[in-house]
Structure 1
């Protein structure tokens, strides 16, 4: 059986005006009349946003006002997992399309309010009320009170006093009163999409870069390619990374430990081995060894000797004494008996 062909699409291609391109995509644009969302090219062709983030931005933009767009709500609506959705939302938030803020309600609850803007760069430009439709000059004037608009007949001139000037006659029709435009509520400022990143921490430096430390560090960095070929460093990069390895060796880190920390769980492939090794030397450096005096155990408290219980040989009562014998009462009675006998 032959593959079914879409004859409607083929017929639409023949109705396109002008010559068709020899390669690339051919657009058949049919105007929407209902259920459509306008998406700008600044979002659809964003140079740094991932395709997943652009897709979720279009999905969020097409949802009605007030729809929940939390991570769990989107995961229940779409097939993507929560981790992918969270990464896409963070990406949109970093570029200014999404803003999440915690708001206190009058009843004391705390909710997360999510705001989506389809053109975050437009918020950075000055926005004034002139963006509203301009009205004619006659309409923009503040309307006069009703009693002032009533035309009074011109008074007759009197002979005794000087005549009052007649009221001016309106030659143009009275303009229709328009309601005053509502005040424009400016959106909260959004940080620019390309906010400056914090500076990276510098490469650790040893207290003293001795020739022995330089020799060991150079040998360790040059030997990395024998254990992991993707860590082939140039001679200039090795010389720049020597102080970082020397700082590790100065803190009594073994060469095998340094090699394991630099090459374990590395991405495949390592596109920039110099930057990767520099990052791990900076962020994974161990702390200096503590002073041996700080490792001594604290002095122990003297042990308290507890006098054991003994059983009296005379009355069988229990009493505390270091050795067996009689209790105090039996000893006193025995002393009284001996005194009486004497």
Structure 2
């Protein structure tokens, strides 16, 4: 008898498909190399369909199965894939893990299996440690970028006042600090003004280079948070929270008020209104929201940022685009209902 549904599980051994009774329908083992297994598990957890999963799906389709249930949102063009993070196959695989390892001849002894498990977990842990290090790098770089922005703004203002003594008309005409610096670095008549402008121009280029590096690092290390919040805001939230692990543990209401601590303390002392948001004000959905709805939109944004941070910390899945679309849809509905 052929069942139309199969439950697909990917673990250290490989990829297994179970029927409703818990019997193995088909399977595809991983190469018995811990480093390769760790890499395949990493790719699978990101939501990618790896080679072994593709093989199992094809075998199921040829056997007449119409639908697979698994814990990823990835779709196959030839068989229906249903997402269920807690499907029955996972429990079956967990309870029968060691028996599966022996029955499929993946190993011949429990000691051999223990050794492989230890080595695979070591490689996975090494990847997590690398993520933590990247996390700290992002926090340092965004601090440097913010310091550069502050210094450039102050020094450019000084340059504007200085050159304004020689050519007030030019200073009034060029509103952008950066454009004024670039212009003066090439054409200023006073040597000292020109030299100072060149130094500032180099700092602007350094800031831009670091910003590009920061964006790339964020997309690689915290892809979901970057997609939902934007790389720069994501890195600042990370810095305020103290790291990815910490922001993943924060409630959405706490995330909503990150950067508004002083205003919150003033309110608690009875010296002002409660803040509706902190650094989240920089999110475009909040900036573009009607004033009466900014607080509600901030709550929606904070909730999805919390979800994105948890996804980055606790899984390898790329859910950022889906989370962002859900957020945009909810904000759109909120704005529409108001109208």
- Report the TM-score, using the length of structure 2 for normalisation: 0.20
Decide which structure has the larger Cα Rg and report it: 1
- Report the TM-score, using the length of structure 1 for normalisation: 0.20
Structure in which a larger fraction of residues adopt helix? 2
